[in-house]
Structure 1
Amino acid sequence: MGGTVKPNSAGADSRAAGQVVLLGCGFVADLYMRSLQATPGIEVAGVWDRDATRLAAFCTHWDVPARDGLAALLARAPNALVLNLTNPAEHFETTKACLEADRHVYSEKPLAMMLDDAKTLHTMAAEKGLMLASAPCSALGEAAQTLGHAIRSGIAGTPRLIYAELDDGFVPQAAYDKWLTESGAPWPYEDEFRVGCTLEHAGYYLTWLISWFGPVRTVVAASAETIPEKEGAGPFAPDFATATLFFDNGPVTRLTCSIVAPHDHGIRIVGDKGVLSCKAAWDNSAKVRFARRINLRRRLMEHPFPQTVRLKQPTHPKVKRWGAAAMNFMLGPVEVLEALRDGRPCRLTNDFALHLTEVTLAIQNAGETGGAQTMTTTCDRMEPMPWAK
């Protein structure tokens, strides 16, 4: 489904191969800038946002160059990777414009709000030989890679069932009006409530799962809005969704997302020999544990003192905790840039981005009667990072 990808025209020029431009400088853009500080060799060659006041505050705080429009942003750095950090409803049109300008794009999630639009972008990228990658990139992080290594190594035996939780607490009662980034961007609560927690957050575990097991064959899901009177202008997306995922080559998985239930970002992989677990999807350094299964005085149980599973260090640059997350948001863009520079396949393929989008939309849009949905897209399993093989 992919097509041949054009290499970066800068060739062996390491400076040009390490350039990015930021399209949009809202709340999430500061998280990318914090990650850039931990990532040597990447230059921000320009930033543009339609909000001139926000653009000025962001560029002043981070000391990066502002541009006066999308055309100028692209023209001033013709070899830079575009990081599309606009609001989700604008992802399709802005990414489309960048692809039409023959630019590789790394998009914040989701790739598009509608599957047909995501497929249009995928087709355009394939026809032009361009990379089209999608966040989140935590599947490239240490915690996800450690779990993947443990699964491949058979520490827990054959995985039989997975439970994954992405519950964020009763967010409508949180003090979100006080959530500000370093450069002063407020948390965009109206947009978050309209887009929905599933489109915003399901990818944090879906990318892990798809990277380990490959494509999802069938999604059996339900979603609902359980808190109807949120602040801001609706209509609002479901604030709860749950799905049972059937993979072509993996265990049955139950994934739940909400901004209602008490905070829980844990994942448990139940195998023949015991349980692998991780409690923090948004922490690249989160501990991975294995509790072997034992019989004690006729009682079947998981060992009360699980062992910690570790990879040899070093792995990748880490970012200190900010708010709820300790994630390096630049792991994805760096993977794209290095693949372009080295002329190798990118782990975050175009097919991966499209399949992630379809699965996520299937979960969010299931409603009360969506039921079983057969996926129309596919992708390959992800090649492990060199330090996780």
Structure 2
Amino acid sequence: MGGTVKPINAQAAAGAGTGAAGQIVLLGCGFVADLYMRALQAMPGIGVAGVWDSDAARLAAFCSHWNVPARDGLQSLLAQAPDALVLNLTNPAAHFETSKACLEAGRHVYSEKPLALTLDDAKTLHALAADKGLILASAPCSALGEAAQTLGHALRSGIAGTPRLIYAELDDGFIPQAAYDKWLTESGAPWPYEDEFRVGCTLEHAGYYLTWLISWFGPVRTVVAASAETIPDKTGTGPFAPDFSTATLFFETGPVTRLTCSIVAPHDHGIRIVGDKGVLSCKAAWDNAAKVRFARRITLRRRLMEHPFPRTIRLKQPTHPKVKRWGAAAMNFMLGPAEVLEALRDGRPCRMSNDFALHLTEVTLAIQNAGETGGAQRMTTTCGPMEPMPWAK
């Protein structure tokens, strides 16, 4: 299905929450690239100047479906759009080499997670970007979304009082028994299950809450983690990464947090922030418009409990363009690239900063690689808290 990219709805057409304009190029057009293109329909003013993928058949199918121009190599992709932001959507094993090539060519890069599969490689990319004065940002960008920003506003407003403890879950169900071989995108890309199992659910998913937490509280000081492979006989060629991890995070200025990731435990994408006055919560990390609720703490007949009918916390609308649900997610994947383009246009610091991307990578790798004996790990990178979106202040 080809055709001109158009806004999804009236709010999107009005450009609520984003004034981004500019060009992007897509390096890689696998499964996740369709999610970016769906989101792009809600983001007027951003154009696709070219796409390249090493799989010629996949490239042809993608470009035909979305009516975007194909290029015949990385050099052609960069040369034909010298001012475009590069979206690195290659598979994780290729992130380091491809991002390095783009940075060396003097290009700003927005990379799918993780920046690299090792901290040394991530630090190399960070140093290269700093040397050349370039932006090196990393997905996920849901910290810029309405749900995360609503929680951040509630924290700053003291609705729950001082936050004392946070529980965050990113459990996806017993994925090895799912019909994942039938999961296809709109343009026909299959879910890359072998790559997903080799890379691991922690590297793939922990960022969806880590970015929220780091955006509110700043850097993690210490990670105390463990990880394991609980289902060894997955489909495909191993070795496979841990399919379960749990971490206790100690922030420089925030509350202690427990974060769990798995593709084994029943589906749970909830976060609960326990404060002196009650509990803030959100049940859907992958939904930008998920409800944020506050249950105040009460005593009823000498029993201490959270109010059984929590109130919904809302920000003044409009916030940002929304994307309709597709599969498990209702996320606008273009909020991150749009933030980079806006920062470049306005000459201001980017919320998705290089330091933020590197710190996110270090924390995620510390959790993923903890194994049975990793224990406490002191972080070597840092970053500042993220400036709230203008509509969330």
Matches within 5 A, 1:125-144: 125-144=129-148
Structure 1 counterpart of 2:15: none
Structure-2-length-normalised TM-score: 0.95
CA RMSD of aligned residues (A): 0.9
Would you say the 8 A contact 2:20–2:338 is kept in 1?
no
Query: Is 2:48 aligned against 1:71?
Result: no
- Cα offset for 1:116? 0.1
Structure 2 counterpart of 1:233: 237
Query: Is 2:187 aligned against 1:183?
Result: yes
SS in 1 for 2:376: strand
| In 2, Cα distance between equivalents of 1:348 and 1:30 | 22
Offset from partner CA, 1:90-144 (integer Å, 9 cap, x none): 0000000000000000000000000000000000000000000000000000000
Query: Is 2:354 aligned against 1:329?
Result: no
Would you say the 8 A contact 2:146–2:289 is kept in 1?
yes
SS in 1 for 2:371: coil
Matches within 5 A, 1:75-154: 75-154=79-158
Query: Is 2:347 aligned against 1:343?
Result: yes
Structure 1 counterpart of 2:382: 378
Offset from partner CA, 1:366-386 (integer Å, 9 cap, x none): 000000000000000000000
Matches within 5 A, 1:288-303: 288-303=292-307
SS in 1 for 2:148: helix
- Cα offset for 1:17? 5.2
Offset from partner CA, 1:285-329 (integer Å, 9 cap, x none): 000000000000000000000000000000000000000000000
Structure 1 counterpart of 2:270: 266
Q: 1:201 aligns with which of 198, 205, 220?
A: 205
SS in 1 for 2:222: strand
- Percent identity over the alignment is 89
Offset from partner CA, 1:239-271 (integer Å, 9 cap, x none): 000000000000000000000000000000000
Offset from partner CA, 1:168-210 (integer Å, 9 cap, x none): 0000000001100000000000000000000000000000000
Matches within 5 A, 1:272-283: 272-283=276-287
SS in 2 for 1:191: helix
| In 1, Cα distance between equivalents of 2:348 and 2:372 | 44
SS in 1 for 2:242: coil
| In 1, Cα distance between equivalents of 2:147 and 2:330 | 11
| In 1, Cα distance between equivalents of 2:297 and 2:69 | 56
SS in 2 for 1:95: helix
| In 1, Cα distance between equivalents of 2:293 and 2:182 | 35
Offset from partner CA, 1:206-228 (integer Å, 9 cap, x none): 00000000000000000000000
SS in 1 for 2:308: coil
SS in 2 for 1:47: strand
Structure 1 counterpart of 2:290: 286
Match for 2:283: what amino acid?
K
SS in 2 for 1:218: strand
Instruction: Give the gaps of 5 or more residues in structure 1.
Output: 1-14
Instruction: Give the gaps of 5 or more residues in structure 2.
Output: 1-18
Aligned length: 375
| In 1, Cα distance between equivalents of 2:389 and 2:167 | 24
Would you say the 8 A contact 2:20–2:339 is kept in 1?
no
- Cα offset for 1:77? 0.2
Offset from partner CA, 1:5-49 (integer Å, 9 cap, x none): xxxxxxxxxx99510000000000000000000110000000000
| In 2, Cα distance between equivalents of 1:176 and 1:383 | 38
Structure 1 counterpart of 2:3: none
| In 2, Cα distance between equivalents of 1:153 and 1:112 | 36
What stretches of structure 1 move > 6 A for 4+ residues in a row? none
Match for 1:90: what amino acid?
A
Q: 2:369 aligns with which of 359, 365, 369?
A: 365
Structure-1-length-normalised TM-score: 0.96
Match for 1:358: what amino acid?
E
Structure 2 counterpart of 1:312: 316
